[in-house]
Structure formats: C-alpha cells, structure tokens
Amino acid sequence: MWAKYIFIFLLSSLFILPVGAKAQTLENGTYKIPYEVKKSGESSTSIANDYFQKPAILIVSNQKMYLEITILKSHWTKEVMFDGKKETLVKTNKEKDMRTIQFPLKQISGKHKGTLAVYINEKVDGEDFLYDNRYEIDFVLDENKLAKQSNHVKEIKIIEKKQTKEQPMGWWVYVISAMVFFLIVAIVGKQIRGRKE
C-alpha cells in the first residue's frame, strides 16, 4: 500500500520540479542563430521577413539571454516589439538604412510574439506609396542551428530593473510542495477506503 503512495510522491515530484532554462546549459558568449519572421499564428513566412538581417545574435551572460537583430529599411520600421518588450537600440547605420536592436530572451524554443509599426510615405518602385500600420508577427528561432561565435560577451544595452525582495525559489520549496501533495493523496485515499468499509 505504501509503495503505491511512494510511487505517487515520486511521480508528482517530476511534475513539480522546474525544468532548467536553456541559458543554464549555455556558456557565456556570443552565438549565431537563424530565425524566420512568420505571419502571426500561421506557418507561412511574413513579407516582413525580408527586412530582417539573418542570422540573429544570441548573447548569453550569467545565465541570462539577449537577442540582437538587425532591421533593414530601418526608416520604414518605426518600432519592433518582441514578447511584449520594446526594442533597445544598439546602433544605427544611416547610410545603409539599418538598425540593430536587442531584446531580453527567456527561452529560445517556440514562437515569440512580435509587433511591427511600419510607416512608409515615399516613392516605391517609382510610384507614390503610403502605408501606415501596426501588425502582429511571430519570430521563430532555429535552436537546432545555434552556433557559438565567440566566448566574448557583446555589450548588453538593455537596462534591467533590479529586483529587491523577490528571490528565486530554492529546490526545497518544490520538495515540500511534493510532500504536501503526497500527504493530501494519502488522506483522501484513507477517507475513500473508510467509506467503502
């Protein structure tokens, strides 16, 4: 009988213990990572994909990750948001009309929701063209093709707010949670057996 509860305890621990972030397995340094800009919620490539330089740069510093991307036709793209975060300017090249920006990155895998604010009011292909819109996109990073470029950590322009009282939970919090869960299962099981008897 107790073997069953021990099994439940071990099983519950697997679900409660956190999965380590990818940054914890990456060494400090600068990496190259291919990516694609897709239409929001779709698998097809967005036309905006052509206006982002590839690959992106992934910066890992003290178990934190930052994504650095370069925008082509910079004067058309007024603002880029990535996972709800506004862009942080790294540098601009007015001659080539390029802008390099950074974002904090929590995880590499999955789709990252983005927003583009685009304003065009000039001749395009010889014709007057006016476009003013803000629309959603998805950034998809190719984690399988992540390649380390150097051990040097590029300068991080993002200024993060210092956390005062909030501290990460230790492993013992998850162990206690698993024990509480085990205790509840044992009590409920005992009550069910009592009713049957």
Q: 51-82, pLDDT tens digit by residue?
A: 999 999 999 999 899 999 999 999 999 999 99
Residue 112 has pLDDT above 80, yes or no: yes
The DSSP secondary-structure symbol of 170 reads P
Assign domain 22-162 to a CATH class. Answer: mainly beta
pLDDT value for 19 = 39
Strand bridging mode 56-61 / 64-72:
antiparallel
pLDDT value for 177 = 73
Q: Helical H runs in 2-139?
A: 2-16
Q: Do residues 156 and 61 touch, judged by C-beta distance below 8 A? A: yes
> Pick from 92, 82, 76, 84: which is nearest to 58 by CA?
82
Distance CA 146, CA 82 (A): 19
